Amino acid sequence: MALNVSALFNPKGIQEVIFQAKGVAALVPALVNSGIIGAHGAKATAVLPANLARYRLTTARELEQGYATCPERVALIDDTGAITYRQLRNNARTLAKHLLSLGLDEIRLGIMARNGRGIVTPTAAKGYAGASIYLLNVSSSKEQLAGSIKECGINVLIIDDEFADRMPTDILSDTPVIIGFDTASEGTGTEPYEVAEHNYPLMKDIVAHPERLKDVKLPMFPRHGMIVLMSSGTTGIPKGIMRNEPVFPVVVATLMGTIPWRADQKVQVTASMFHTWGWAAINLALGARNTVVTHRIFNPESVLDDIERYKLEGMVSSPVFYKQMIQADPEKKYDTSTLEFIASAGNAVSPQLVKDVHGRFGPILCNAYGSTELALASAATAEQVAKDPTTAGKIASGTKLRIIGKDGLEKPRGEIGEVFLTNETALIGYTNPDKKVNKKEGLVSIGDLGFIDEDNHLHIVGRADDMIIVGGENVHPQSVIEILEEMSGIKDVHAQGVEDDLTFARVAVWVVRRDDEAGHSLNDDSIREFVRENLADHSVPRDVHFIDELPRNPTGKVVPRLL
């Protein structure tokens, strides 16, 4: 965070400097209280300034700090096995040297990988080599991947072999490609893809031979390239959201102050690391010198087994994942008593799901709210979630947030409007210059509707573009979902608007039945009657579809075009 001296000569500028200073003042105590600063004694403190100066708050810095303070601690347990901070740091540095050996004027590194070292190693290598990285959406089709590569100017691609058949080989003829995870040699019980005929090098082979790159020198002070995350767009080229590496991400003060996330813990990360929440989680976990347990593909029983086997203390996840964990273990056969927190983000949390979590894991659910464009906006403690399951919590440190109506004016407390905010982790733009950022008075729309209550807590009622207007009445689909989640026999449910010739729009729901007597007895009329008993008539779904499974992307969000 650089101090703008000219700001000191006008009232608004002075207010801005004071606002930023308050954010930094909140960050340091939060890091001290969590043990991130001060852990491992004088040595950790001594190397901290130099590492910050060289790498800022990046994955590279987190590994350097871990290497200096607890090198033999296990940093990551993934589908390949366990790897220490020393090994992960050295692998990332070797990969960075390989990237530098390619002789590119600027490294624009695309990564298409699932959770594990296949994404963590190149993300750290980015910081050592001074590259820009593009975390590609693993749901992208061949055409979408080609569009992202062209739009972003990606000139190196690291990709799991699972996605090799999606590679647009015609535009990659001169682009170095590295296989990040090789199913054939690191098998996970799935069929390998044929990549051998293309003679692509494997990342594991590159990092296994640092001696081949002994003459390549890493820069003492690498350039700080952009971080680009892709939206979960289902059609067209996914939006590339550009951000700079943060210098003082003061929003972390709120996150660490809200969630009992501490240094030296063992945590499970089921959130997808190519997406904002998972990307933030792996950096925070490595920054706290945690041992991170993760899998490329989520399986609820595997995660429950991890918690019991490794006595995990925390889990960073999204509602769809821990909901499946609850459903997969109705008899509570797995011991999860060591779990101290579940940090949730990515999807809305319903009151029923909060109740289910408390029944299975205890009152340990914390909620973080944000977006791909704007990272963290607010966070709620476990106590706040238990008291009011609808809260998104207190607005994050260093964040300016306003609720703005269609008239462009700020809404008073308790009134619903569109959520606009900004902080240091906000996007700087899109990779496609034709896509404009929706801004008002320097604040960016998060795309949601919400309100702020009298306790200064944020509440989200749904996506702004998901609002259904039925015969002139507003219906928030999330309200229908939350009511139906309480209905006996329903395993999963989604609601949205569909076009209607008479009322312009109508409510439709898609229901996945439980495999029990209550689920088998569900029908269209019982669904409608349950909604009618709890909500206004205009919220009653005209269309009820029973399906075997909701189509969700890797981050857990429903893909409407597949319904």
Give me the helices (H) in 215-268, please.
251-258
pLDDT at 189 over 80: no
pLDDT above 70 as % of the chain: 89
Domain-embedded: residue 4: no
Domain-embedded: residue 342: no
Candidates 284, 320, 252; CA nearest to 120 is 284
* Domain boundaries, position 99: 44-73+84-247
Same domain, 419 and 511: no
Same domain, 429 and 451: yes
Q: Residues 547-561: pLDDT tens digits?
A: 999 999 887 888 888
Same domain, 391 and 418: yes
Question: Could you tell me the CA-to-CA distances from 110 to 119, 138, 151, 177 in Å, in that order?
Answer: 10, 12, 12, 10
Give the model's pLDDT for residue 374: 86
Give the model's pLDDT for residue 232: 65
Backbone phi, psi, residue 46, to 5°: -65, -40
For residue 329, what are the contacts with CB-CB under 8 A and spacing of at least 6?
Answer: 300, 301, 304, 360
Domain-embedded: residue 550: yes
Q: What is the CATH number of the domain that holds 483?
A: 3.30.300.30
Give the model's pLDDT for residue 465: 83
pLDDT at 21 over 80: no
pLDDT above 90 as % of the chain: 67
The residue behind tokens 């947030």 is: 401
Same domain, 409 and 453: yes
Beta strands in 140-219 (DSSP E): 156-159, 177-179
Please say which residue of 439, 463, 487 terminates a domain.
Answer: 463
Task: Quickly list DSSP for 271-339.
Answer: S-TTSHHHHHHHHHHHHTTPEEE--SS--HHHHHHHHHHHT--EEEE-HHHHHHHHHH-TT--S--TT-
Better pLDDT: 20 or 220: 220
Give the model's pLDDT for residue 11: 53
Give the model's pLDDT for residue 234: 54
pLDDT at 132 over 50: yes
Question: Across the strands, what pairs with 458?
Answer: 393, 452
Cβ 25 vs Cβ 2: under 8 Å: no
Domain-embedded: residue 328: no
**Cα 354 from Cα 340, distance rounded (Å):** 15
Q: Residues 534-546: pLDDT tens digits?
A: 998 989 999 999 9
- Identify the weakest region by mean pLDDT among 79-83, 282-286, 471-475, 548-552: 471-475
Give the model's pLDDT for residue 36: 65
Arithmetic mean of pLDDT over the chain: 89
What is the total residue count of the chain?
A: 563
Q: Residues 209-224: pLDDT tens digits?
A: 999 999 999 999 999 9
Same domain, 455 and 487: no
Residue type for 230, please?
Answer: M
Q: Residues 38-61: pLDDT tens digits?
A: 666 566 677 778 888 888 888 999
Please say which residue of 247, 270, 297 terminates a domain.
Answer: 247
- CA angle 244–245–246, rounded 5-degree value: 105
CB burial of 240-256 (b: ≥16 within 10 Å; e: otherwise) equals bbbbebbebbbbbbbbb
Same domain, 109 and 234: yes
Q: What is the CATH number of the domain that holds 50?
A: 3.40.50.980
Q: What is the CATH number of the domain that holds 446?
A: 2.30.38.10
Same domain, 114 and 230: yes
Cβ 346 vs Cβ 371: under 8 Å: no
Please say which residue of 417, 445, 463 terminates a domain.
Answer: 463
The residue behind tokens 């590994």 is: 63
CA atoms within 13 A on the CB side of 289: 22
Same domain, 493 and 530: yes
pLDDT at 414 over 70: yes
The two structure tokens encoding residue 540? 């009653």
Give the total number of structural domains in the chain.
Answer: 3
pLDDT at 372 over 60: yes
Same domain, 110 and 230: yes
Candidates 201, 207, 101; CA nearest to 157 is 201
Domain-embedded: residue 211: yes
The residue behind tokens 């692998």 is: 91
Candidates 407, 408, 405; CA nearest to 417 is 405
Domain-embedded: residue 277: no
SS3 5: helix
Q: Residues 239-282: pLDDT tens digits?
A: 999 998 877 678 888 888 899 999 999 999 999 999 999 999 99
Same domain, 440 and 479: no
Domain-embedded: residue 222: yes
Give me the helices (H) in 153-299, please.
203-207, 251-258, 276-287
Same domain, 102 and 242: yes
Same domain, 415 and 485: no
Cβ 506 vs Cβ 498: under 8 Å: yes
Domain-embedded: residue 528: yes
Question: How do beta strands 439-440 and 429-430 pair?
Answer: unpaired
pLDDT at 513 over 90: yes
Residue type for 240, please?
Answer: G
**Cα 417 from Cα 422, distance rounded (Å):** 16
Candidates 294, 285, 274; CA nearest to 109 is 274
Question: How do beta strands 227-230 and 132-135 pair?
Answer: parallel
Burial of residue 180 (CB within 10 Å: 0-12, 13-18, 19+) is: buried
Neighbours of 82 (CB within 10 A): 12
Cβ 287 vs Cβ 311: under 8 Å: no
